[in-house]
Chains A and B, each alone.
Chain A
Amino acid sequence: MATLGPNQLDPITGQTTTDHEWDGVCELNTPLPRWWLWTFYATILFAIGYWVLYPAWPLLTTFSHGVLGFSSRGQVAEDIQAIHALRAQTEAGLDKASVTEIVADKRLLSLALAHGKAAFAANCSPCHGAGGQGGKGYRNLTNEDWLWGGTLDDILTTITHGIRDYTDKDTRLSAMPAWGNNGSSTLKPEEIREVANYVRTLSKLPPEAGVDVDAGKQIFTDNCAVCHGDDGKGNTALGCANLTDGLQLYGGDMKDLTYTITYARNSTMPAWGARLDPVTIKTLAVFVHSLGAGQ
Chain B
Amino acid sequence: MSHAEVERAHEVFDGGPLYVASPKVYPQSVSGTFRRLKWALLVVCLGIYYFLPFVRWDRGPNQPHQAVLADLAHSRFYFFFIEIWPQEVYYFTGLLILASLALFLSNALFGRVWCGYFCVQTVWTDLFLWVERLVEGDRRDRMKLDAAPWSADKIAKRVAKHGVWLAIAVCTGGAWVLYFADAPTLLRDIVTFHASLVAYVWIGIFTATTYYLAGRLREQVCIYMCPWPRIQAALTDVDALNVTYRRDRGEPRVSLKDGDNLRAAGQPAGDCIDCHQCVAVCPTGVDIRDGSQLGCIQCGLCIDACDAVMAKVHRPTRLISYDTDENMRRRQRGEAPVYRLVRSRTVLYVVVMAIVGSLMVYRLMTRQHLELSVLHVRAPMYTTSGQNAVRNGYALRFSNKWSDARQFAIDISGVPGATAKSEQADALPNGRLEVAVDPDSTQEIEFYVTAPRSSTNEAGVPIVMTATDLESGESVSVSDHFFGP
Contact = CB atoms under 8 A, between A and B. Distances in A.
Interface of A: 1-2, 4, 11-12, 103, 106, 109-110, 113, 129-133, 140, 142-144, 203-204, 244-247, 289-294
Contacts of B6: 11-12
B411 interface: no
A169 B448 CA distance: 36
Contacts of B393: 131, 142, 291-292
B10 interface: yes
A103 B421 CA distance: 14
Contact of A109 (B378, B384, B421, B424): B424
Nearest to A131: B379
A11 B385 contact: no
A95 B25 CA distance: 70
24 contacts: A11-B6, A11-B9, A12-B6, A12-B9, A12-B10, A109-B424, A110-B424, A113-B424, A113-B446, A131-B393, A140-B380, A140-B383, A142-B391, A144-B385, A245-B386, A245-B387, A246-B386, A247-B384, A290-B424, A290-B446, A291-B393, A292-B385, A293-B383, A294-B423
A130 B378 CA distance: 9
Interface string B327-368: 000000000000000000000000000000000000000000
Contacts of B101: none
B484 to A, nearest CB: 13
A1 B5 contact: yes
Q: What 6 A-B pairs have minimum CB-CB distances, sorted nearest first?
A: A131-B379, A133-B380, A142-B383, A292-B448, A130-B379, A11-B6
A202 to B, nearest CB: 11
Given A12-B13, A131-B377, A292-B448, A2 B5 contact: yes
B148 interface: no
Contact of B383 (A1, A12, A143, A289): A143
A133 B379 contact: yes
A5 B349 CA distance: 72
B231 interface: no
B15 interface: yes
A131 B379 CA distance: 5
Given A131-B393, A143-B391, 18 more contacts: A12-B6, A106-B424, A113-B424, A129-B380, A131-B377, A142-B383, A142-B393, A143-B385, A203-B387, A204-B387, A245-B386, A245-B387, A246-B387, A291-B393, A292-B383, A292-B385, A293-B383, A293-B385
Nearest to B14: A12
Contacts of A110: 424, 443
B1 interface: yes
A205 to B, nearest CB: 10
Nearest to B7: A11
Given A11-B6, A143-B383, A131 B391 contact: no
Contacts of B387: 203-204, 244-246
B423 A290 contact: yes
B384 A246 contact: yes
Nearest to A2: B1
B436 interface: yes
A109 B425 CA distance: 11
A293 B5 CA distance: 99
A207 B3 CA distance: 117
A129 B6 CA distance: 84
Nearest to B1: A2
Contacts of B15: 12
Contacts of B443: 110
A118 to B, nearest CB: 15
Nearest to A104: B423
B391 A109 contact: no
Nearest to B446: A290
B396 to A, nearest CB: 14
Contacts of B386: 144, 245-247
Interface in B98-147: none
B423 to A, nearest CB: 5
A103 B423 contact: yes
Given A12-B15, A245-B386, A292-B448, A142 B380 contact: yes
B379, B380, B391 — most chain A CB neighbours (10 Å): B380
Contacts of A1: 1, 5, 9
A28 to B, nearest CB: 13
A113 B422 CA distance: 12
Contacts of A129: 379-380
A4 B9 CA distance: 14
Interface in B367-411: 377-380, 383-387, 391, 393
Contacts of A246: 384, 386-387
A267 B436 CA distance: 42
Residue of A106, A109, A142, A292 with highest tally of chain B CB at under 10 A: A292
B134 to A, nearest CB: 39
Contacts of B446: 113, 290-291
Contacts of B384: 143, 246-247
A34 to B, nearest CB: 18
Nearest to B425: A106
B47 to A, nearest CB: 42
B423 A131 contact: no
Contacts of B448: 292
B451 to A, nearest CB: 13
A134 to B, nearest CB: 8
Contacts of B391: 142-143, 292-293
B381 to A, nearest CB: 9
B380 A131 contact: yes
Contacts of B421: 292
Interface in B1-43: 1, 5-6, 9-10, 13, 15
